Amino acid sequence: MLGVVLLKILYNESMKNHTSFKIGGPADKVIMPESEEELIRVIQKCRKENVDYFIMGNGSNILVRDGGIKGVVVKIEKNLSNINIEGNKITVQSGALLTRLSKKALKNSLEGLEFASGIPGTVGGAIAMNAGAYGGEMKDVVSKVKVLDKKGKVIEHSGEEMNFRYRGSRVQDEGFIVLEVEIELKEGNYDEIKEKMDDFTKRRKTKQPLEYPSAGSTFKRPEGYYAGKLIQDSGLKGLRHGDAQVSEKHSGFVINVGDATSKEVENLIKVIQKTVKDRYNVVLEPELKVIGEKQKG
């Protein structure tokens, strides 16, 4: 049905292979378009034939349910990841990893992307989520975004028009597919940029449970609080449901300590939310996106 020539398609593909959580049932199809034109063709075909599709990048902020994903997963990653630098402007395809992009910026002594150097997502995912860390966020550096809109039109928006906010943007509101992004940085000093990046990496390694699969911070930061502290102060550090566990190192992370199922993670999330609500009257909203079907039976 979607047999466009040269397209890379994986059938009945376990989403464990495509998510940083290493969790998830099979997707009917995972398609990895090799060009913007191919990507647009795939989406057009899905829309025309009423096939559900889900756009993913590096799968570092999603929890795929155990029943898998019906329809098509369109994966935009290495397949669409060109980076072009001219002066202090970078034009980058949405599948490029932030880690690679920030290294390129460093190589060119361009300042402003240091915050992104340890975020394991693609540029597309980072625009959808307005990814951020250590006082920086995508909003600060994005000058233009080229997207495919719901009507199938390729349009451009300025950074200001993207309605960037804490862990969200217009991409989520309007179902845009991010194709390409223009990033504007400042000319800086190589050693200073490197020092900042090294410091952030060190802080991540010390504080975050990077040795286990996860989807990063499980919850958004509630106003006036830190999710991890609320969870820890509620006595939930180390709590386990099957192989899903509240990290001992950082209570804001639910980790997969073996072969966790999505159900175990979702149950653990519910327990955390209820305990924190009962104790502190604070609602913890998941940051990760839960997608796919519940397992039957």
> How far does Cα 216 stand from its chain's mean position?
9
Using CB under 6 A, which of the segments 119-127, 158-166, 195-203, 268-276 binds ligand FAD? 119-127
Between residues 64 and 230, which has the closer beta carbon with respect to ligand FAD?
A: 64
Closest Cα to residue 117, out of 128, 103, 130? 103
C-alpha dihedral sign at 38, 101, 24, 277:
negative
User: Contact with ligand FAD (CB under 6 A): which of 24, 59, 112, 286?
Assistant: 59
Q: How many positions of this chain bind ligand FAD (CB under 6 A)?
A: 33
148: number of CA atoms within 13 Å, CB side? Answer: 17
Task: Report residue 167: phi and psi, to 5°.
Answer: 55, 40
- Catalytic residues, by residue number, are 167, 217, 287
Q: Are 284 and 230 in contact, with CB atoms under 8 Å apart?
A: yes
The site map against ligand FAD for 131-170 (x = CB under 6 A) is xxx-------------------------------------
Kind plus residue range of the DSSP H or E element containing 3:
none
Residue 76 makes contact with ligand FAD by CB under 6 A? yes
User: Contact with ligand FAD (CB under 6 A): which of 60, 102, 232, 262?
Assistant: 60
Q: Are 181 and 147 in contact, with CB atoms under 8 Å apart?
A: no
Give first-to-last CA distance, the chain, whole Å: 30
* Least gap, CB of 263 to ligand FAD (angstroms): 20
Q: In sequence order, which residues have a C-beta less than 8 Å from that of residue 224 and are 6 or more positions away?
A: none
Of 191-250, which residues contact ligand FAD (CB under 6 A)? Answer: 208, 210, 214-216
Using CB under 6 A, which of the segments 83-91, 116-124, 185-193, 272-280 binds ligand FAD? 116-124
* Least gap, CB of 51 to ligand FAD (angstroms): 16
Binding residues (CB under 6 A) for ligand FAD: these are: 20, 55-62, 76, 94, 119-122, 124-126, 128-129, 131-133, 171, 176-178, 208, 210, 214-216, 289
